[in-house]
């Protein structure tokens, strides 16, 4: 086996996650987790992630098909969508803080109401209980009923049944059977993280496992042991002083991976796509810093409100800010080197990607 280089890891990072497009359930199962974000620029992050991996995918397909799929909305390393079997590994979830008696009585009454109705809209709960307003996490106010439902969802009392106009509708959580063994569950969740974001620098893997600990706070004390156990199970290599890990059984030096990663294809990626999610790994593999600037004040933005990283072959060489104007897709493309690559095939490949995006958005 040849010595593994950073080029091998770069090829592997691209080829393993940009697998041949498949069905929506199979793509979610293979990814293990799809991060969600409400911003549409020009589509939500979950749709932008799935369009590369699901045959014939169109913006909004995940939300439309969600009630019929064995997946759940929940918090993993971030909030998003994951297979029900993986979500079950984090439950029964015990929140970091306990509710006072009055809050517990409120939750019990709401749970009885939801069980009676089957599926409820937050405004039905608000009308029934008149909980009033409460201060939210960013300093404003929102319906106390909405906050209570969200907290009950995190604790595993409720699940998201579907959405209407982007609003979450709640139902009683589906019983997932007896609770899992804590360390076995954390080992399995760590493997999900590694399989989604590999190859990973050791510090990034450790950080992600601790984020899983936020999704399963009752087992946060197991995170350090979980990282050590994973390092014993999975292969690793040190390159330029950085230790990298990837799932056991994979071959980063595969010539097939190199061939697939270097195909003449342009892809505009979601800011939370597995290829670009970990900013430490991004800088090591592609040699520049990418930042998500939607929440950065406009005068301080460098690349734009919702700049999508631009992947050409196996290199992220720039970004694109996209908008729909008068029924057509408009793209503002920027490049790390200040200009597009001096390659005859790039312009045609970029045009192909913009055509795919137009079809994904349902534009003429």
167: CATH: 1.10.10
| Residues 205 and 236 occupy one common structural domain | yes
> How far apart (Å, rounded) are the C-alpha atoms in residues 128 and 73?
25
Domain limits for position 119: 101-172
Q: What is the pLDDT of residue 138?
A: 41
> How far apart (Å, rounded) are the C-alpha atoms in residues 239 and 236?
10
∠ CA 317-321-311, nearest 5°, is: 25
Q: Which of 172, 188, 204 is the last residue of a domain?
A: 172
Please give the tally of structural domains in the chain: 2
| Residues 158 and 188 occupy one common structural domain | no
Q: What is the pLDDT of residue 178?
A: 87
| Residues 269 and 231 occupy one common structural domain | yes
| Residues 126 and 229 occupy one common structural domain | no
11 in any annotated domain: yes
Q: What is the pLDDT of residue 346?
A: 96
> How far apart (Å, rounded) are the C-alpha atoms in residues 270 and 75?
19
| Residues 247 and 337 occupy one common structural domain | yes
315 in any annotated domain: yes
> How far apart (Å, rounded) are the C-alpha atoms in residues 260 and 182?
38
Query: In this structure, are residues 291 and 303 in contact, taking their beta carbons and an 8 Å threshold?
Result: yes
Q: What is the pLDDT of residue 262?
A: 81
247 in any annotated domain: yes
149 in any annotated domain: yes
| Residues 163 and 199 occupy one common structural domain | no
Q: What is the pLDDT of residue 129?
A: 86
Walking along the chain (364 residues) 10 residues at a time, the average pLDDT comes out as 89 95 98 96 97 98 97 96 96 89 93 96 90 51 80 96 95 89 97 97 98 94 97 96 96 84 92 97 96 94 96 96 95 95 92 97 89
| Residues 305 and 262 occupy one common structural domain | yes
| Residues 168 and 65 occupy one common structural domain | no
Q: In the numeric block, which tokens belong to residue 55?
A: 């045959």
∠ CA 164-104-172, nearest 5°, is: 35
| Residues 23 and 62 occupy one common structural domain | yes
96 in any annotated domain: no
Q: What is the pLDDT of residue 263?
A: 87
Q: What are phi and psi of 169, to 5 degrees?
A: -105, 140
Q: In the numeric block, which tokens belong to residue 329?
A: 């897709």
Q: Which of 172, 188, 216 is the last residue of a domain?
A: 172
100: three-class secondary structure by DSSP = coil
| Residues 280 and 166 occupy one common structural domain | no
Q: Which of 130, 148, 172 is the last residue of a domain?
A: 172
197 in any annotated domain: yes
| Residues 212 and 63 occupy one common structural domain | yes
285 in any annotated domain: yes
Find tokens 């409400």 and name the residue: 38
Q: How many residues does the chain have?
A: 364
Query: For residue 322, what are the contacts with CB-CB under 8 A and spacing of at least 6?
Result: 41, 42, 268, 306, 308, 329, 330, 331, 332, 357
- Confidence (pTM): 0.93
Q: What is the pLDDT of residue 141?
A: 44
Per DSSP, 173 falls in state P
> How far apart (Å, rounded) are the C-alpha atoms in residues 174 and 190?
24
| Residues 161 and 208 occupy one common structural domain | no
Buried/exposed code over 178-202 (b: 16+ C-beta within 10 A; e: otherwise): eebeeeebbbebbbbbbbbbbbbbe
> How far apart (Å, rounded) are the C-alpha atoms in residues 325 and 314?
31
């Amino acid at each position: 086996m040849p010595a593994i280089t950073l080029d091998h890891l770069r090829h592997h990072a691209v080829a393993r996650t940009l697998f041949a497009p498949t069905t929506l359930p199979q793509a979610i199962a293979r990814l293990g987790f799809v991060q969600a974000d409400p911003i549409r620029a020009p589509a939500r992050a979950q749709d932008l992630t799935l369009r590369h991996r699901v045959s014939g995918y169109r913006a909004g397909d995940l939300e439309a098909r969600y009630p019929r799929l064995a997946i759940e909305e929940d918090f993993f390393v971030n909030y998003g969508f994951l297979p029900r079997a993986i979500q079950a590994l984090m439950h029964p979830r015990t929140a970091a803080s306990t509710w006072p008696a009055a809050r517990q009585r409120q939750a019990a009454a709401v749970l009885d109401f939801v069980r009676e109705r089957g599926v409820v809209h937050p405004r039905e709960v608000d009308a029934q209980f008149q909980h009033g307003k409460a201060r939210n996490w960013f300093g404003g106010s929102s319906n106390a009923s909405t906050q209570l439902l969200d907290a009950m969802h995190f604790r595993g009392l409720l699940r998201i049944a579907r959405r209407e106009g982007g609003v979450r509708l709640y139902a009683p959580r589906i019983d997932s059977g007896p609770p899992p063994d804590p360390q076995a569950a954390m080992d399995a969740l760590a493997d999900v993280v590694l399989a989604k974001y590999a190859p990973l620098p050791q510090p990034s893997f450790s950080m992600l496992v601790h984020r899983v600990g936020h999704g399963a706070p009752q087992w946060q004390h197991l995170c350090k042991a979980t990282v050590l156990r994973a390092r014993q199970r999975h292969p690793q290599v040190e390159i330029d002083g950085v230790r990298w890990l990837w799932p056991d059984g994979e071959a980063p030096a595969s010539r097939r991976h190199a061939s697939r990663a270097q195909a003449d294809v342009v892809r505009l990626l979601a800011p939370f796509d597995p290829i670009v999610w970990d900013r430490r790994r991004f800088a090591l593999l592609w040699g520049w810093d990418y930042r998500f600037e939607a929440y950065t004040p406009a005068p301080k933005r460098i690349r734009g409100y919702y700049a999508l990283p631009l992947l050409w072959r196996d290199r992220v060489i720039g970004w694109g800010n996209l908008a729909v104007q008068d029924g057509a897709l408009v793209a503002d493309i920027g490049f790390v080197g200040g200009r597009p690559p001096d390659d005859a095939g790039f312009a045609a490949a970029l045009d192909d990607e913009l055509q795919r995006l137009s079809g994904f958005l349902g534009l003429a």
